[in-house]
Structures are given as structure tokens and as C-alpha cells.
Structure 1
Amino acid sequence: MARLLPLLVIALGLFFWYRSRRNAAARPGGAAGAASSSPGLSKEAAALGFLPQDRQDAERLMRDPQIDGAREAAERGAWEPAARALAAAGRDWERRTALVIALANVAAEEDAWLTAWQTAHPGDPGAAAVRARSTVFLAWELRGGSSAKETSAEQFEGFHRVLLRAREDIARAMELDAEDPSPYVSDLWAGLGLGYPHAYVDELWAEITTRAPFHFEAHYGALQYWCAKWHGSAELARDFADKAASGAPAGTLLPALRLIAFFEHLDRPLAARHYRTPEVTAMVDAVLADLPAVRPDHPRLAEVRHLLAFFLVQQKRHAEALEQFRLVDGCVGAMPWKYFGDAAKLYCDYRERAVQGAR
């Protein structure tokens, strides 16, 4: 019995310790209660005004009243707000292309509103541009997001058939507005699936840059084409990014292309050691230096901030990362988070690393 007494004392101690911890967690503000009610949000992050994981929108890149309003109206079946928004964008090609993309995503799911728009105004170039991009989106939906070996012959057949139809819609949009680069950008994305030869893409690129030499959305699409996973290589993608960034005026976001080309060709994109070389640090610094000149309503500014936040955390530059997280919190449908299974969780994990690292 004497031998059992120490064990009994230890067991009783553990029991009372566990019960006190359980009761504390059950009280409002208890550690476990806070974690369960706000996943992905520490007390420090909450104090800074950050949103929990379940309030991160993984489908949206940013909030923009004009784009959101036009898209939401289209989802309700009304085309008039879309037409007004595109007319208001005028020759602002970044905003026009962003509107086309947002509306095309809706039309790829349900296009009755777009059909009604084209019936009412058969020669409307805005409607034609949305139709062209929506057909490209529809083709990619038919293919699915799996690798080639996991994609069926039926999926590939539907994919290529709809992409060929998209080329007809793209040609129509080009005819209706010869100045608008957005149909040419849509053609770049059709080319990823149809395997356009390099010479054709070079010609297509000349058409785009004649119309909008520093168009970020166009550069992003072209960079994807030149990546090794599509029709180029790591070297071609990085050469393209370097050329674009080095020749761009301040405020175009084009220095971010170097970060994208680098990220796209990592075998282990979450391994921090890849990001801590002097070369990558210089790439990040160049993007940070470009930000003050970028217009605050640039449609891709939020995505570049997300990318910067990710790179800065990997470089343990936590206070600088926190500045970027503050400006994008709530919408996480952006690179790099969207490349992984649970974008909101990964975003919150990296945000928490910045919060704790900056303390």
C-alpha cells in the first residue's frame, strides 16, 4: 500500500489539473473556447482586427463595389448594370478586363442574362468580350482541374471542342472593338489549352502590347503560357518576367512577375529556404518599391499584396508582411493560397506567423 501512495497522489493531481483546465476552457474567453469559436484567429490577431478563418472569402480576390455590383446583378439575371459598368470603364484596360473576367465567370455558370444582353444589343463589344472569355472559362470547367493523366478522353474532347468555339467568339469580340486588348488576353488562355505554337503567341503578344504595353492581366496570362507546366520552361518564363519588369514604368505591378515566375517553378513551394537568397530578396524589394506608385484601385493590387505577404513571411520579415495582411484580410482567392487545398487555412497560418513574429 505504501508503494501505491505516490502513484495515487500523482493521479489525483493530474485529475484536478485536468478538471481546472477543462473548466477554464469552458468559461467565456477560455483558451479552448476562443480557439473553437474563432478558428485560425489568435487573441493577438483578433486584437489587430483580423478576421477568423471562417470569414475569409476563398472565392474572391478583393472587394470592389463596381465589379461586385455588376457581378451580383448578373447573378440575379440582370445585364444592364454590367453594360453600364463596362461603358464607365471606357479605355481603362485593366479595369475593363477585370470586369470582363468577373462577368465571364458568372456567364460560364449561367448565361441567360448574357444571351438577353446580346439579343438586345447584338453589336455590343462589351457583351462580345464577356462571351469570348466565358466560353474559355466553360472549356476549362469541362476539363476540370486534375492532371492530364487523371482527365478522361471525354473531358479532353469537350475541352478542345469548346475552346475551338471560343476562338470564334474571340474573333467576333476583336472585330467589334479593335482597340480592346481583353479578347486578345482571352486568346492567350485559349492558347494554353490548344497548345498555340510560340510563333503565334509572339504575334498575339505584339497585338496586345500595341494596345496596352503594360497591361498586368495580359502579362500574367502570357507568363503562364511560358511556364514549364504549359508550353515553355523555367528559363523562358523568367526571361519573360525579367524583360517585362525591367522595361516597365513605376506603378504597373510588373516587377511582381519575377516573383510569380520564381514561385511557379519551385518543386516545394512551401519550403522557406527557397525564399531567403539575395536574389529573391531583391525581387521582393523591387515589388515593395513599386507599390507607392500603383493606383489604389488596380484590380490586381490585392493579389500582389498576398504574394508579397507570403514571400515576406518566408523571409522572416514579419512586420512588413503584417502590413500587407492588414490590407487584404477577408478575401483570399489569390495566389499563392489558391494553389493549395484550403486557401483560407493556409492564409491564416501564414498570417499568424507574421502576427507572432512581429511581436
Structure 2
Amino acid sequence: MALLHAFIRRARMACTSPRLSDGLPPDGEVLLDAPDERLAPALVAAGLGDHRPAAELLAATRKAGEWEDRDRYVTLLATFARSRGEWFAHWCATAPDDPDALLVKAELAVARGWQSPARVEVLREAGPLIRAAAEGDPRDPVPWRVALDHARGVDPDHTEFERLWGEAVRRSPHHYGCHVAALAYLSAVWHGSHGECFDLAETAAQDAPPGSLVQTLPLRAAYAYLTDGGGAVVSRDRLDAAADRAIALSSRYTPADPRPAEVRNLLTYVLVALERRQDAWTQLRLIGPYATSFPWDRASGDPLGRFLELRDDVRGQMAAARAVPSARPFLPRSELAGRVPAHDH
């Protein structure tokens, strides 16, 4: 586990009163961005300088067309390579034309560009890497997700965005990562509006199979709206419908399943903002030990600490509601509730 210190962090132990018997794991058992059983061995090997398990994992996802898993693994491997890059440098040196290495390299370049003070210039330099990754396997939609993330930062016109979007959906009509990237591009913060964001999200969710993560796109649109702080008002009914659709998707997975962890964390954030206390409590119990950086890192430099703090807030409010039925209604913290009109659910 120590090898994954840059990737997985143990929670701080609670030092307050004993916890309720509420089915939540203790603070000390909660992990941030924990890898699943397929990725964890590859990360351990990478920490020891061996790139081969990571290469084999990505090759397996590409051959099987496991595009959602592939996208997630590419993102997490690139994150690991930023802090422990020796294994990845060796992989690129020994297999410079490996389509899987090319894809991780493109993702890593775009991620670095987004965090650079010279963002536009650095992102433009990543363009050839993205094109090389896209040529690695013509079936693969993940390079086009990277291209959409890249496009948002270099500010092309809508014609170029639509071209990239067409390439992405032609390869995988319901690929979650590509839809999330397109939603970010069309958000009010970047090149669109809340209306465009919701329209795309709701249309895609309606067209997607019942078990697809694309069902949660309206939740992403709701989150963007709730954290924006300005612009046209989105109706409460539309926000609640987005949360309800994500709740339905969450219910298809078993409790404490790492696969929907990010969706459940985001859903909890939105439910708290909407003052839906009971629904937020249900999602916290389904999350189990799997906290994710997003969305908590948007509100705090300590995402795990912020998650645990909010979990304690909801726990306390639930206990108060059980003890005193007339207790004051649950009110989320200010950074979660600034955009929500008063409305009982």
C-alpha cells in the first residue's frame, strides 16, 4: 500500500465521540480514489518500475473493447505517472509505437497542460500526441475523449468541436467519458450555457441503455449549475429529475462497489445541495469506503477530509432528526447550497 501513497490516501482517524451503529465504515477505513482489483496490481508493479502489467491491462481493454474501463485506467495511470514516472518513461522507450503507451502519453500531456500557467500554449503542444494516440487503434473512442478535453482548453470554434464529437460517438455512441468531456465544453463556464448543458445531458441519458453511466449526465449538468453561481435559473424540477435518474443508476450496483464510486460521491454532493437529507444518507451508505477526489477537491484542498466532514454533518443531522422529529431542516454548507432555491422535496 505504501507504493500507492501518491494515489491512495488513508483517512485520518476520528477523535470525537463514538460513532452510531449506522453501517458506515470507520473514517480510518475510507480510501481516496482506490483502484479496483484489476488496476491495483498494475500500480504496485509500476511503483517497482515494471510497466508490463499496466501495458497488459490496457492492451486487454483495447482488444475486448472495454472502453469505459480503458478510459478510467488511462486516466489513473497517467495520474500515477505524474508522480512516479520512471516506469512510464521505460515503457515509452521500449515500445514507442505502443498504442496504449501513446494514449497514456497524450492523457498525461493534456493533464499537465491544464495545470500549467501557460495552459493554452502547453495544450497546443499536445496536439500531435493526441493525433498519434488516435491513430493507434481506429476503434478506440478514448483518444477522442482526450481530444475533447484538449479542445475545451485551446478554444476552437464549434465546428471543430462538432467534428471531434462526431468522431467520438461514431466509435462509441454511449461512451461516458466522451459525453462528460462534451458536457464540460458546453458548460456555461466554457463555451456554452446551462441550457445547452442540460439539453445535451438529458437527450443523451434518454437515448442510453438503462445501465449506462450516461444516465448520470444530467447530474453532471446539475452540479455545474449549482457550483457556477450565476446565469439563467434552472428549475428545481429539472435538478431533482437529474438526481432521481442518478439514484436509479446507483441502485443497479451493489453497496460499496468501487465502479460507481465517483457517481455516488457526486450524487451525494448534489443531494446535499438540494437539501435531500435522506437520499444523501442512503448514498453515503452505498459509497462505503470509496471516496473520490471529484467533487470534493472542488470545495477543499483536502478532498478526503471534506468528504469525511460532510459525512459527519449528514450523520449528525440524521441522528438529530431521529431524536427530535421537529428538529430544524437539514441545511448544507454554503459552498454546496448557494444556487438552490428554497423548496421542500
TM (normalized to structure 2)? Answer: 0.77
- Partner residue in 2 for 1:263: 223
Instruction: Say whether the 8 Å CA contact 1:160–1:193 is kept in structure 2.
Output: yes
Are 2:299 and 1:340 equivalent residues in the alignment? yes
- 1:104-119 aligned within 5 A: 104-119=78-93
Are 2:55 and 1:83 equivalent residues in the alignment? yes
Provide the aligned C-alpha RMSD in A: 2.9
Instruction: Say whether the 8 Å CA contact 2:256–2:287 is kept in structure 1.
Output: no
Residues in 2 aligned to 1:298 and 1:127: alpha-carbon distance in whole angstroms: 28
- Partner residue in 2 for 1:290: 249
Question: In structure 2, do the counterparts of structure 1 residues 276 and 300 end up closer, same or farther at CA, with 3 Å as the change threshold?
Answer: farther
Residues in 2 aligned to 1:292 and 1:47: alpha-carbon distance in whole angstroms: 19
Are 2:252 and 1:277 equivalent residues in the alignment? no
Instruction: Say whether the 8 Å CA contact 2:264–2:287 is kept in structure 1.
Output: yes
**TM superposition shift of 1:312:** 3.1
Are 2:108 and 1:134 equivalent residues in the alignment? yes
**TM superposition shift of 1:110:** 4.3
* Cα distance per residue 1:97-125 (max 9 Å; x no partner): 11111111122334332232233223311
Residues in 2 aligned to 1:134 and 1:322: alpha-carbon distance in whole angstroms: 36
**TM superposition shift of 1:96:** 0.8
- Partner residue in 2 for 1:177: 137
Residues in 2 aligned to 1:284 and 1:42: alpha-carbon distance in whole angstroms: 32
Are 2:190 and 1:230 equivalent residues in the alignment? yes
- Partner residue in 2 for 1:210: 170
| Bigger helix fraction | 1
* Cα distance per residue 1:278-332 (max 9 Å; x no partner): 3322222222223344699997611111122233344454443233212324343
- Partner residue in 2 for 1:201: 161
Are 2:120 and 1:160 equivalent residues in the alignment? yes
- Partner residue in 2 for 1:101: 75
Residues in 2 aligned to 1:57 and 1:281: alpha-carbon distance in whole angstroms: 29
TM (normalized to structure 1)? Answer: 0.75
Aligned residue type for 2:113: A
Question: In structure 2, do the counterparts of structure 1 residues 297 and 349 end up closer, same or farther at CA, with 3 Å as the change threshold?
Answer: closer
Aligned residue type for 1:211: R
Tell me the SS of whatever aligns to 1:78: coil
Question: In structure 2, do the counterparts of structure 1 residues 296 and 199 end up closer, same or farther at CA, with 3 Å as the change threshold?
Answer: farther
**TM superposition shift of 1:349:** 3.2
Question: In structure 2, do the counterparts of structure 1 residues 275 and 356 end up closer, same or farther at CA, with 3 Å as the change threshold?
Answer: farther
Question: In structure 2, do the counterparts of structure 1 residues 326 and 257 end up closer, same or farther at CA, with 3 Å as the change threshold?
Answer: same
Instruction: Say whether the 8 Å CA contact 1:237–1:261 is kept in structure 2.
Output: yes
Residues in 1 aligned to 2:270 and 2:235: alpha-carbon distance in whole angstroms: 9
Tell me the SS of whatever aligns to 2:241: helix
Structure 1: stretches of 5+ with no match in the other structure: 1-35, 144-154
Question: In structure 2, do the counterparts of structure 1 residues 175 and 104 end up closer, same or farther at CA, with 3 Å as the change threshold?
Answer: same
Residues in 2 aligned to 1:68 and 1:210: alpha-carbon distance in whole angstroms: 31
Provide the identity percentage.
31
- Which protein is bigger by CA-based radius of gyration? 1
